[in-house]
Structure 1
Amino acid sequence: MKSYQANLSRPIIALMLLAGCGNNKPAAPTAPPAVAVTTQKVTQEMITTTDSYPGVVVPLNEVELRAEVGGSVTAIFVKDGQKVSKGQKLYEIDRTNYLAAYNSAKANLRVAKANYGKFKKDAERYTNLAKQEAVAKQRVDYALTDLENAASQVAVAEAAMEMAAANLKRSVIVSPLSGTIGISQVKPGALVVQGSTLLNTVSTNDPIAVDISINQQDINRFLKLQGNLAVRDSIFSVELPDKTTYRLNGKIVAVDRSIDPTTGTLKVRISYPNPTGNLVPGMVCKLNVLNKSKTQQVTIPYKAVMEQLGENLVYLVSDSSKAQQRLVKLGSKFGDKVVVTNGLKAGEVVVTEGSQNLRAGTVVKAQ
């Protein structure tokens, strides 16, 4: 009997204990700790950025040497890659036929001049006899006609001789400018065709140029730079394929006349002195152009920027030490900073480190 009473009392005691516990209020939730971040104030400053353009080294003067007369190559007077001067003999085409043609034309001219001299004397003689009425006027007319025909024959012979002399001269190809000749495209004995066979190429190397293509929105800027002479700190610097910087200063020498309709770009040519030959025609390089701001720009550390879904945003720290998201538009990047063209103003505070742990409204503790 006592065992039964004891067993019955145990549930009652448990219920009383639970009822007593139900009178206690739940503890208030504790606020999450502030997230430690690094911050920096948004500043304004005069900046100098660098715009980079892919470039190609090109000679300012370059001429393709093509045979102006046909025949076989009988002599090559220079070595491949040699420095040449204007007027220097480079190639010779077989001159046999052209020399013969010249001599023939020269002889024909002598005959034509001799005939002209004979008809001139006849015309003078008949004209004098006509004044004395010792010969018919018709005979004088014949003599004057013969003289005119002889003069025409002389003109024809002179033209033929000039052509023959020109062909004889063209059989020797000379350098049209002072520069460097390339690798010969023909060997001695090769048959060349007038006007089509490429013999070689001669180009100038000092000065030399770099061609770049710019976007349409940059045209006015480069037109303003076109009149600038080379300065102590060059606006245009060339980065060579080995990542070294070409130290000599350059200047714009030409801006193309029209925009390329396929790319929407305009070609600009910058000239450089090239005394050591470091810039080689055809070399691919990078042209860096200094872009100095005329007014103060809003700048922030680039590491403060986060990208989400194609948009750039930063976290700001409000007066209540809470993080706020702000969309921004970026301009040029320079060093470890970037220009902000819209979305921020000087004096605001942005988070530079620790952004990955933040959400809008997160309490932060600036370090």
Structure 2
Amino acid sequence: MTPPKPCRALSSSSTLAPAIALLCTVALAGCSGSGGSGSAGGKKGNAGPPQVGYVVAKISSVPLVTELAGRTSAFESSDVRPQVSGVIYRRFFTEGALVHKGQPLYQIDPSLYRASANQAQANLLSAQATAASTRIKADRYKPLAAIEAVAKQDYTDADAAAKQASAAVAQQRAALETANTNLRFTTVPAPITGRIGRSLYTVGTLVTSGQADALATIQRLDPIFVDIQQSSADLLRLRRALASGGEVATSAAVSLKLEDGSDYGLTGKVQFSEVVVDQTTGTVTLRAVFPNPKGLLLPGMFVRASFAQSIDNSAILIPQQAVSRTPKGDATVFVLSGDKAVLRTVTATRTVGTDWVVTAGLKPGDKVITEGVGKTKPNIKVRPVPAGSPQKIQAPQKPGQKG
């Protein structure tokens, strides 16, 4: 009996092993492909039309707020100037301090003016003595002229001399008042109450009456003015709207934003409007007055003023997220027509808070889509619900679970 050849049996086993492994791999790949193909070939679930939220348009009264550039200016401003000539003898104030009306600021050397006042006083006394003497003489001549004891011409001359002496007394009294006034002007007082700036003249400087340069400047800063520039075209549009009855005037309370972008905090009121248009800028100046108790606002500061000049009683407010812009900049919204979304062009030129003010393109009762705008296209069917309604979200299905 011939024994089997082990080398041949081993060769057969090593040849079949790779083949079996290859068949298993192909079978598994076929099973996997069949499962995936079945899943991919299955029908997708129908989600239905997208759900959108809408609001109903209605008429609202909207204040038309305008934001314009402005500049602050002092409520009162006065240049301190000398009214007599002389050398500054003394300064009584601290630069930058608050001074009060009538408070002495400078002392001009009063020596010459005091001497002039004394001389005027002496001249007045002399004139008064002469006037008394001539009046007594005229009174004595009067009865004598009546009985023709003296010539009537002598009485006439005496009476005229007495009247001239009285006029001289009045002249000397006026000269004395002038001299005393000049003496008083040697003390330069504060013309208004306010904050005084730096002194442009020091002690020992010669100043003259009527000089062009001021000694110092005083400014009253509480309250303070804000001059606002508005274009004449906007003002014309406002007046036409008020005349047509579409808008009504309102009390213009003004709020400010400072140069750093912060709010001033206190509100002011428009006081008046200029009656002429600046030919260089085409603007009209509106002046508002603001309280400034802490002195935060200083003259010359640039600010942004916001105020309502009128109220539009026929405007429609819609949330800002409902409005889209075309490449040309036109404002558009989606409006419901049954269960379809219709794209409509509207006029929206300004905002109030979180809403756009629509002045054309919508009418009361229109349903404007405000939620789900991003997934809405013109003339597609949608599932409208009032804005703010909760959306129905289905839980995700597990693998192999049927919907």
Q: Quote the residue 1:260 is aligned against.
A: 277
Q: Quote the residue 1:197 is aligned against.
A: 213
Distance 1:356 1:72 in 2: 85
Paired amino acid for 1:132? I
What runs of 5+ residues in structure 1 fail to find an aligned partner? Answer: 1-33, 227-234
Shift of 1:339: 0.9
TM-score under structure 2 length normalisation: 0.68
**What SS is found at the alignment partner of 2:251?**
helix
Larger radius of gyration: 2
- Spell out the pairing of 1:62-73 with structure 2 (5 A cutoff): 62-73=77-88
Distance 1:245 1:149 in 2: 73
**Contact 1:50 1:288 (C-alpha < 8 Å) held by counterparts:** yes
Distance 1:202 1:102 in 2: 31
Deviations 1:277-299 (A, max 9, x none): 22222222222224684635223
Shift of 1:198: 0.5
Q: Quote the residue 1:305 is aligned against.
A: 324
**Contact 2:256 2:267 (C-alpha < 8 Å) held by counterparts:** no
Structure 1 residue 88 corresponds to structure 2 residue 125: no
Distance 1:113 1:85 in 2: 41
- Spell out the pairing of 1:120-139 with structure 2 (5 A cutoff): 120-139=135-154
Distance 1:365 1:65 in 2: 76
TM-score under structure 1 length normalisation: 0.74
**Contact 1:81 1:180 (C-alpha < 8 Å) held by counterparts:** yes
Deviations 1:87-143 (A, max 9, x none): 110012222222222222222212211211111111111113212321100111111
Distance 2:251 2:172 in 1: 57
**What SS is found at the alignment partner of 2:199?**
coil
Counterpart of 1:212 (choices 219, 224, 228) is 228
Paired amino acid for 2:224? I
What runs of 5+ residues in structure 2 fail to find an aligned partner? Answer: 1-47, 385-403
**Structure 1 runs of 4+ off > 6 angstroms?**
34-39, 219-223, 320-323, 351-358, 364-367
**Contact 1:323 1:362 (C-alpha < 8 Å) held by counterparts:** yes
Paired amino acid for 1:329? T
Shift of 1:84: 1.2
With over 3 angstroms needed to count, the CA separation of the structure-2 counterparts of 1:236 and 1:308, relative to structure 1, is same
Shift of 1:317: 5.4
Distance 2:249 2:309 in 1: 14
**What SS is found at the alignment partner of 1:97?**
helix
**What SS is found at the alignment partner of 1:156?**
helix
Distance 2:353 2:122 in 1: 79
Shift of 1:243: 2.5
Shift of 1:70: 2.0
Structure 1 residue 225 corresponds to structure 2 residue 251: yes
Q: Quote the residue 2:184 is aligned against.
A: 169
Paired amino acid for 2:222? D
Q: Quote the residue 2:36 is aligned against.
A: none
